[in-house]
Structure 1
Amino acid sequence: MHILQNEHLIIESKNSGAELTRIFCKKQNKEILWSGDSKYWGRQSPILFPIVGKLKDNTTIIEDCTYTMGQHGFARDLDFELIQVDNNSVSYRLVSSETTHSLYPYDFELLIKYTLIDSEVRIDWNVVNKDSKEMYFSIGAHPAFNIDNSLSDYYLEFKSRDNISQITLNGPYSDKDFVLEKLNTLLLNPDLFANDALIYTNIDEITIKNNKDESFVNVNFTDFPLVGIWTPYYKDSNSTAPFLCIEPWYGLADSVDSDGQYKNKKYINTLDPSECFSVSYSISVG
């Protein structure tokens, strides 16, 4: 476990999955990040790579070969190498290996960096194509934030671009797109998650707020193509787990009519040999 702190926050991360495992706000004396209680969901902020969401039948075809991958890919289940740590930041690296080649054929390097800046955690991703051919990939975030008391006490504020769409799910697979005129705020309640995650395009920022006080958690992911919002839903009690995930994505689950070809996945990303994909998002607490 690797710990960074300043006068505002304490954050912790680990080599396994290069996962962020704690955000503690000193001013509020409050745990911001979900604890990972397996009664509800045993993860806290997994990195989704090289797929986001689920493949049809958990398989995909890459260069005429069929590969099997579970939901959200394999990076979250592998040990990363710690490559740098100082007072304000920590960096991890995952390099392709025999293990990854059995699931995904490309040679790659995945770098994850957490930087503590005042009341903000900045998360940087770098995906490097180490192969001799064009590489396809998806990557996404999945941080979960604590919800105290009832979900209905909370609401979301959005900052967005033009032409927002909502993408519906059919089971675990993406289905139809619906254009929204605007999306400024969303009052939360369990029924919203009865059909799994809410997925939107062209959102730059989401702030979780509640009606009880002025505290907030802001997730800024400017220019990301997609964001998912999720919490487990329990039909029998019409309730949800005590956390909410805000998930910036560069990728999407297979569509219901997927042809199984990895390169044809919606929102897939490409890298030429030796090229690097670099992007960041941030979590701030107030």
Structure 2
Amino acid sequence: MDPDLIRIASDRLTATVSPLGAEMQSLRTAGGADLLWHGDPAWWSGRAPILFPIVGKAPGDRIAVGDHEADMRQHGFARRSRFELDAQGADSCRHVLRDSAETRALYPFAFELAVSHALAGDRLSVSVEIANRDPKPMPFGFGFHPAFAWPLPGAGGAPHEIRLDNGAEPPMARLQDGLLPPDREPSPFAAGRLVLAPEQFDADAMIFPEGAGDGLRYGVPGGPELAFSFENLPNLALWTIPGAPYLCVEPWHGMAAATGASPQIAKRPFSLSLAPGDTARFAWHVTAHL
């Protein structure tokens, strides 16, 4: 195991977290079954990146804050930044990213981004606190991007589903050249239920800007399932590369820039503005039912 990886464990689960991006690298049952995607670069090298200070693409890969403009790749810089280990216990750890000359050249704010991973029984919690240490309001978007095994361990060839806790049928958006168009497509959900198939991702991610709610289940009804809950994360995306053995369940507070929009972060859909000295919190939790 990479000596920089932090290992945490409960009686039911183990996880490892890298200081690069504060990204979880594994989530396993006590029996050794992998729940998290293992990051095979033949498909996609990510596993559970943290998205900050933008979610998705910017027009021409350029962002702006007032008169400040800079290049910024999709999903921001946090996932490619090295975090410091701030705290570690047997079942939890906390990593922190603080602004630097490098980040301020891109994003002109003093900030602190803390990512905590914690295990309790068969439940994982991942929480983030973003603090504005700057004297001016700080616009940003934030999101989680974890990828899970598809099929789940023990599920065999059984069809997998997403079932929304709220039973809704939220309208869907499809990106155009990486940006968010104004139009919505009919929901693929029926009474909160979506039976997954690889061809649903031929047109890239399924994005639900509103209405997906604060919880869902992924897996096989009556069989292996993961039960999710979300805090302060009103947007949802589901993504994979067609045929790849993973599914990303992505709760966000922020979206790709709208088509035809300016590069201003503050103008992006669902962007937040954090007052000087304030802190915003986001979290997701997953319980394994295997």
TM-score over 0.5 for the pair: yes
CA contact (8 A) 1:152 1:189 kept: no
Q: Could you say which residue in structure 1 is the equivalent of 2:77? A: 74
| 2:189 pairs with 1:186 | no
2:220 equivalent in structure 1? 210
Question: Contact 1:96/1:107 (CA < 8 Å) preserved in 2?
Answer: yes
**Which residue matches 1:276?**
279
| Equivalent residue for 1:91, pick from 90, 94, 99 | 94
SS at structure 2 position matched to 1:101? helix
The reply to whether residue 100 of structure 1 matches residue 110 of structure 2 is no
Where does the alignment leave 5 or more consecutive residues of structure 2 unmatched?
A: none
Unaligned runs of 5+ in 1: 234-239
What code does the residue aligned with 1:177 have?
R
Residues 3 and 11 of structure 1 are in contact (CA less than 8 Å); yes or no, is this contact kept in structure 2?
Answer: yes
Measured in 2, the distance between the counterparts of 1:165 and 1:258 equals 21
Change (3 A) 1:7 1:150: closer
* Whole-angstrom CA distance in 2 between matches of 1:254 and 1:265: 5
After superposing the two structures, state which structure 1 stretch, 106-115 or 276-285, moved more.
Answer: 276-285
SS of residue in 1 equivalent to 2:70: strand
Give the secondary-structure state (helix, strand or coil) at the position aligned to 1:196.
Answer: coil
Of 104, 116, 119, 2:119 maps to 116
What letter corresponds to residue 184 of structure 2 in structure 1? D
Q: For the structure 1 residues 183 and 94, does the alpha-carbon distance in structure 2 shift closer, same or farther, using more than 3 Å as the test?
A: farther
**Does residue 25 of structure 2 align to residue 21 of structure 1?**
yes
Indicate conservation of the 8 Å contact 2:206/2:237, yes or no: yes
Distance 2:225 2:275 in 1: 40
TM-score by length of 2: 0.90
How many Å apart are 1:284 and its aligned residue? 1.5
Instruction: Give the fraction of aligned pairs with identical amino acids, expressed as a percent.
Output: 27
Q: Is the 8 A contact 2:141 2:272 kept in 1?
A: yes
Of the three residues 37, 44, 47, the one matched with 2:47 is 44
- Give, in whole Å, the separation in 1 of the partners of 2:79 and 2:51: 6
What amino acid sits opposite 1:209 in the alignment? G
Superposition CA RMSD, Å: 2.0
Tell me, in whole angstroms, the C-alpha distance in 2 between the residues paired with 1:25 and 1:214: 16
Provide the TM-score with structure 1 as the length reference: 0.91
Read off the aligned partner of 1:271 and give its amino acid letter.
Answer: L
> Residue by residue, what CA displacement relative to the aligned partner does 1:33-71 show, whole Å, maximum 9, x if unpaired?
010110000110000000101111000221112111001
2:171 to 165, 168, 177: 165
Which 4+ runs in 1 deviate beyond 4 A?
A: 149-152, 178-183
- Contact 1:219–1:246 under 8 Å retained in 2: no
Return the alpha-carbon distance in structure 2 between the equivalents of residues 151 and 267 of structure 1.
Answer: 37
